[in-house]
């Protein structure tokens, strides 16, 4: 190398966090919270509920009773583990696939169904009132998160903004700009990239030339950590550390949760058109729910009877939510103009009146 004699002025490193192997054995000493069996089983229950809910949501879509829906199959540990480390007063800025985080924070299942059924009701969910709604425009929640965190800093509030997006979003200018701003101002924000290897049909290798997504934080001046996204213990531990650091005033953190999208992108997608069934099959051995169950059962924290009871509980909760969703009176078409503007521009006001007139006829 011609310039080999030049001094090295900076070196950077990216760490990888994992505790549980796919068979439930332990790769390194577990973090302190893992001795709390109630917490571990709560994480397990939340992931199971999410998987059951997803299955039902797809069935509703396939029978014409729900719009497009994005399942979390294979990546349940990320949204559940991240949300479990947040305080109620923190603010979540989720992407469209982060149902697990919303449910953990108190959003009702029927509210999620209503949203994907096209009935947003102003996104007035039952979670913390300042949490943001699902974000569908890829990456656009990142500048919002920087803004939220900037407000926390100005108000001297010990709160943290937690912003979730996918691997695809990490190529968006919005995300770079938000991370840069957050790094400059040392804002209390944690960016979480769920690297599920795919952005619809675009594989990770066409998304970035980087070895890791976590290293993108380095250019913005803060720590990026790569985490095994199928290990909910690792996700929870990484989130705890990052959120605590942000709350203490140490500035932003970035978590890359490496996982795999076992399902289609959404119900509008057929992933077999761009990836092989063999590839998907091979990744099933890493999935997060069996992994935690293996650990819990192996350590006598979970029994067959509990598993059966949980399955029945999930079924009951999901079915009850579906009933409430289907029994909800549809909103009148003109309400689509509500909640977007404080003062509706004239052109929309006219359209609204037209729809109101049709309703009367």
Ligand X SMILES: Cc1ncc(C[n+]2csc(CCOP(=O)(O)OP(=O)(O)O)c2C)c(N)n1
Footprint of ligand X on this chain (CB under 6 A)? 97, 136-138, 165-169, 194, 196, 198-200, 261, 265
CB neighbours (10 Å) of residue 180? 14
Using CB under 5 A, pick the residue from 196, 207, 230, 259 that binds Mg ion.
196
Nearest-5° angle of CA 290, CA 295, CA 300? 120
19 in active site? no
CB 217 within 8 A of CB 224: yes
The residue (of 196 and 226) whose beta carbon lies closer to Mg ion is 196
Q: Which does 21 bind (CB under 5 to 8 A by kind): ligand X, Mg ion, none?
A: none
Please give the C-alpha separations between residue 23 and each of 20, 109, 127, 231, 299, in angstroms, as whole numbers. 8, 31, 34, 11, 12
Say which residues have a Cβ less than 8 Å from residue 105's Cβ, sequence separation at least 6: 83, 86, 88, 92, 127, 128, 131
From 13, 17, 71, select the one nearest 198 (Cα to Cα): 71
Q: How far apart are CA 186 and CA 237, in angstroms?
A: 22
274 in active site? yes
Distance in Å, CB of 142 to ligand X, minimum: 11
Residue 166 within binding range of Mg ion, rule CB under 5 A: yes
The residue (of 94 and 251) whose beta carbon lies closer to ligand X is 94
The residue (of 99 and 196) whose beta carbon lies closer to Mg ion is 196
Q: Which does 138 bind (CB under 5 to 8 A by kind): ligand X, Mg ion, none?
A: ligand X
C-alpha 33 chain-centroid distance: 21
The residue (of 135 and 241) whose beta carbon lies closer to ligand X is 135
185 in active site? no
DSSP state of 26: B
Using CB under 5 A, pick the residue from 167, 225, 231, 256 that binds Mg ion.
167
Choose, from 105, 253, 261, 291, the residue flagged as catalytic: 261
Residue 139 within binding range of Mg ion, rule CB under 5 A: no
Active site residues per annotation: 261, 265, 274
Q: By the criterion CB under 5 A, which residues form the site for Mg ion?
A: 166-167, 196, 199
């Amino acid at each position: 190398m011609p310039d080999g004699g030049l001094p090295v002025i900076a070196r950077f490193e990216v760490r990888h966090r994992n505790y549980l192997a796919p068979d439930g054995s332990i790769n390194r000493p577990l973090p302190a919270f893992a001795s709390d069996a109630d917490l571990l089983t709560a994480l397990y229950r939340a992931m199971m509920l999410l998987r059951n809910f997803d299955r039902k949501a797809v069935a509703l879509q396939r029978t014409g009773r729900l719009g497009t829906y994005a399942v979390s199959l294979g990546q349940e540990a990320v949204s559940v583990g991240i949300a479990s480390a947040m305080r109620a007063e923190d603010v979540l800025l989720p992407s469209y696939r982060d149902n697990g985080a919303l449910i953990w924070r108190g959003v009702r299942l029927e509210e999620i169904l209503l949203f994907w059924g096209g009935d947003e009701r102003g996104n007035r969910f039952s979670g913390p009132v300042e949490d943001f709604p699902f974000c569908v425009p890829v990456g656009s929640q990142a500048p919002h998160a920087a803004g939220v965190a900037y407000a926390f800093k100005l108000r001297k509030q010990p709160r943290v903004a937690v912003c979730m997006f996918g691997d695809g979003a990490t190529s968006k200018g919005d995300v770079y700009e938000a991370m840069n701003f957050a790094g400059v101002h040392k804002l209390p924000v944690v960016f979480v990239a769920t690297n599920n290897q795919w952005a619809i049909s675009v594989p990770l290798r066409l998304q970035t030339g980087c070895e890791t997504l976590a290293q993108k934080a380095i250019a913005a001046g803060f720590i990026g950590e790569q985490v095994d996204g199928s290990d909910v213990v690792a996700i929870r531990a990484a989130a705890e550390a990052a959120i605590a650091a942000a709350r203490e005033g140490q500035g932003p953190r970035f978590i890359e949760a490496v996982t795999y999208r076992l399902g289609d992108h959404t119900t509008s997608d057929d992933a077999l058109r761009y990836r092989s069934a063999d590839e998907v099959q091979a990744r099933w051995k890493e999935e997060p729910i069996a992994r935690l169950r293996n650990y819990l059962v192996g350590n006598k924290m979970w029994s067959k009877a509990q598993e059966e009871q949980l399955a029945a509980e999930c079924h009951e909760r999901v079915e009850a939510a579906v009933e409430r969703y289907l029994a909800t009176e549809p909103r009148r078409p003109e309400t689509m103009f509500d909640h977007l503007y404080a003062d509706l521009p004239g052109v929309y006001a006219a359209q609204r009146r037209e729809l109101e007139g049709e309703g009367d006829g």
